[in-house]
Structure 1
Amino acid sequence: MPDTFLNHTPTKKAHTLTIVADSNIASLSDFFNAHNLAGAAETVEIITCAGREITADFLANIQPDVLLVRSVTPVNETLLADNNSVRFVGSATIGTDHIDQAYLKARGIAFANAAGCSKHSVAQYVLTAAFTLRPEYWHDAPTLGIIGLGNIGSTLALYAKDLGWQVLGYDPLLPVSDVNNSTLDEVLQSSSIISLHVPLTSAQQSDYPTEHLIDAEALAKMHKDTLLINSARGAVIAEADLLADIAKTERQVVLDVFEHEPTIAAQTSDALSIATMHIAGYTLEGKLRGTQMIYDALCQTLGLPIVQRIEPLLPANPYHWAALKDAPQLLPEFYDIMQDDAALRAVVTEGQVQGKDFDGLRRNYPLRREWAFAAF
């Protein structure tokens, strides 16, 4: 192992690789153990805690070599300025807006995320929400508008095409294609369903900022019957504008992410057709795939062979996309999204969902299964 990777403090045990990890990352010990990281250190110490508890002071007391996070932990100069030990950061998430990649690069800290790990999980969440609210779409094909055609958006398009739906896609960062075929206005004005799959960016970060992309002006362009689904980032939608629009149009809206999460005002959840607790990607397959990806990246950083795979960790899967298409009435068995909606609404107290309760639901979420697919 290169000497540049580990920078031990005098109190750290020799030949120990210390990992601080969000406790919500799946199967940590199955991947990050001395056997699977043989050659990096004699022993591996994994210290887990809630992602929001990973602070600068916490890391200063531990001086870890490796930091593994999810989306609730901002990794930036504030977190790491006083820390000289971290040499690898892995985020078991598709999104990276919580990571200051420029800062990590300047510090020489290796970084990897889990791009695409839950693309099928999230696409299946969107389909479940749509079919739950509008079961007629099993036989009356709607027009699906997709804003953002990265890993998730493009996967959702594959499912929609497999169902015979018309797809209108918009992604200004990608070349025109059979899916990336529309302007933003065309998607807003002509879709029966609009699903958001963009990162959260500001005007300072991008020529095509997504913060409050869906505001009063955008909402006014949608037909009042257009179903809006957001499983990307909460602040892509201006919440105040959304609530005003719902009050006016009675639009059906599904949110898995919220502008002010982990706190959610009861006024917001009450207005929604389906509200869930940022769990669109929370399947067993998606979680394990995310852990696999950051484990693989750490092995590559350390020059180690990859010896652990997710397949031995997955039990048999009874849920198959082809079977669901043949028997749509099985949808609640595949994924009963209204159970998640009810769980979130059950923790509303004093006019809001408290942050600790929102995080608790996510931390203790019983991972569902992805629907196995053969066609794509």
Structure 2
Amino acid sequence: MKIFADQNMPLVEQYFADFGEITRFDGRNLRPEQLIDVDVLLTRSVTAVNSSLLAQANKLRFVGTATIGVDHIDTQLLSDRAIAFSSAPGCNAIAVAEYVISSLFALSQENAQPLCGRTIGIVGVGNIGSCLADKLKALNVDILLCDPPKYEQGLLNEHVDLDELLERCDAVTFHVPLVKSGEYKTLHMMNKNRLKALKPGLTLINASRGDVIDNQALLEVMEGGADLDLVLDVWEKEPNILIKLLEHVRYASVHIAGHTLEGKARGTQMLYQKLCELEGVEVSKSLDDFLPTPAITNTTVTQNLNEQDIARLVHLIYDVRRDDGILLRHLESDGFDSLRKNYPIRREFSTLLLQGNSPQLAALSQLGFSIAE
């Protein structure tokens, strides 16, 4: 079996070597002729899998994307050609939720405004949005949810219209797929009219798809004096992002919200499990076989733990300001894709084992930290 895998997918050799020969490729520069005689294609979000790319793919029988989103995949084409397909829904949900929580705590610290009592709006309540909502319940914040299709399908008990949510919230975070047309269109969901109407002091976080916010309109609104705290991990026209917008963003990063070591590895593992299913092979490998021991594994917390201390624990594992600094200092010299490719190792809250007698341990467990028995 001949397997082609994106160069930025971790643990491919560990999971897939038993299936056959593995070749790595540059996700943005994969050419049709490279797919001649390839059996399995493993991609990430930067590779558009369409009729042009697959024009010479004469043996392809499985395409997998190690991402939650599938807007870069022509799934109908794969179906028409009887090519099996799998994505990795939920693989990075924990990572993206922790990116948002790190951002909220960083803003809380710098703005001298406690999170407790604030109202957080989540737009899109799929794997990531629901994971974030569960974690935020540990922080004594009010949570408003917006997801029209899920609400209308009876999959969501509560729902607030987007415009009402924008008015009522202190921070709004987006976790929707990119839908380019139709009733549930998310392309430019945040258009110029909505952006102009935002109340002063609102925090706007986008860790879904760059096209959900009209970046040019956002720049114009910010240049016009809008008072917004922006946290942007995704951008229109990546990797050629709107550089001038960076001047107005509190925390900027290179589409890495989901890039914990665990999150990326889960995506690889899910594709491995799917190929095992297709080939009738027993699943024999798991993340625990491959993930390294983190540098910091445990700590003790006391009864005096407060919100600021929880913020310090969060930032001990991951501080979004690190990634903001990397982008601002190295984007011009290294470029967006290079920074994304060479993203420093980041772990999840669960890698830190907490022990002690603090009444906050239950909340810390809900945030995702491990708790000693």
Corresponding residue to 1:95 among 51, 57, 69: 69
Aligned match of 2:10: 26
Residue of 147, 162, 166 corresponding to 1:171? 147
Output the aligned Cα RMSD: 2.2
2:194 to 205, 213, 218: 218
Contact conserved, 1:149 with 1:169, CA < 8 A, in 2? yes
Q: Bigger shift: 252-261 or 49-58?
A: 49-58
What is residue 346 of structure 1 aligned with on the other side? 329
1:190–1:222 CA contact under 8 A, matched in 2:
no
Q: TM-score, normalised by structure 2?
A: 0.86
Give the number of aligned pairs: 343
Residue aligning to 1:7: none
Match of 1:227 in 2: 203
Give, in whole Å, the separation in 2 of the partners of 1:177 and 1:244: 37
Residue 328, structure 1, aligned to residue 304, structure 2: no
Distance in 2 (CA, whole Å) between partners of 1:237 and 1:340 is 21
1:20, 1:47 within 8 Å by CA — same for their partners in 2?
yes
SS across alignment from 1:346: helix
> Are residues 183 and 146 of structure 1, via their aligned partners in 2, closer, same or farther at CA, if it must alter by over 3 Å?
same
Instruction: Find the aligned partners of 1:137 and 1:31 in 2 and give their Cα distance.
Output: 45
In structure 2, the residue matched to 1:108 is: 82
Deviation at 1:138, TM superposition (A): 4.5
Per the alignment, residue 9 of structure 1 pairs with none
Indicate conservation of the 8 Å contact 1:234/1:257, yes or no: yes
Match of 1:277 among 248, 254, 264: 254
Pick from 311, 315, 333: which aligns with 2:292? 315
Structure 2 equivalent of residue 6 of structure 1? none
The runs of 5 or more residues in structure 2 that have no matched partner are 351-363, 369-373
Deviations 1:178-237 (A, max 9, x none): 76421112211111111000111111xx32100000011222332121100001000110
Percent identity, aligned pairs only, is 39
In structure 2, give the amino acid aligned to 1:334: I
Cα distance per residue 1:286-309 (max 9 Å; x no partner): 011111000001111111111111
Contact persistence 2:331–2:339 (CA under 8 A):
no
**Contact 1:157–1:179 under 8 Å retained in 2:** no
Distance 1:321 1:270, change over 3 A: farther
Task: Indicate the residue corresponding to 1:41 in structure 2.
Answer: none
Secondary structure of the residue that 1:141 maps to in structure 2?
A: coil
| C-alpha contact 2:43 2:64 (8 A) present in aligned 1 | yes
Q: TM-score, normalised by structure 1?
A: 0.86
Q: Given the superposition, is the C-alpha separation of residues 171 and 321 from structure 1 closer, same or farther in structure 2, using an over 3 Å criterion?
A: farther
Is 1:140 the counterpart of 2:116? The answer is yes
